[in-house]
Amino acid sequence: MKTFGNVPYSSGVHIDYYLCSTSYGTQKTKAKDIVPGCFLHLDGHIMIVYDVIKNASGVITQIKYAHSQLNGLNPDEIADCATSGPYKGYITINDENKDLNAKNSKGEYIQKWVDLPGLGNILCGLYYKTMLLNCVATFTS
């Protein structure tokens, strides 16, 4: 079986087992620990972090990601957007010590997901966890 680092693949990589398993990487539970190369795991979908923006004080203010093929989302739930193809989005970080789907005392998301029209809150609601694979971490340190 072919591998990249210690992650096996042959006809694709299984999202849930290889790309989001703590056997192959480290889970990041605070926005401030997320770096380019991290995978944002949604329900059956992966996004790749390609940039992390910090202010002059070194505080993370934005996480940029890319993804493609919005499989599994009901097009009727997404206002005026296509359901396939590559997309870029970002998350405005309002508290870098919280996870990407953390809520405040009113039940509102703390971080603001910005993607295709009407898709930000849907993606935030589907977000499961962030992983940095060990084989990618060697390039980010």
Percentage of residues in the chain having pLDDT higher than 90: 40
What are 1-16's pLDDT values in tens digits? Answer: 555 555 555 445 555 5
> If you write DSSP's letter for every residue of 71-115 in order, what string do you get?
TT--GGGSTT--SSSEEEEEEE-S-TTS-TT-B-TTS-BSSEEE-
Q: What is the pLDDT of residue 79?
A: 45
What are 87-131's pLDDT values in tens digits? Answer: 888 999 999 999 999 999 999 999 999 876 667 777 788 888 999
Q: Which of 8-12, 77-81, 130-134 has the highest mean pLDDT?
A: 130-134
Task: Answer whether residue 72 shows pLDDT above 70.
Answer: no
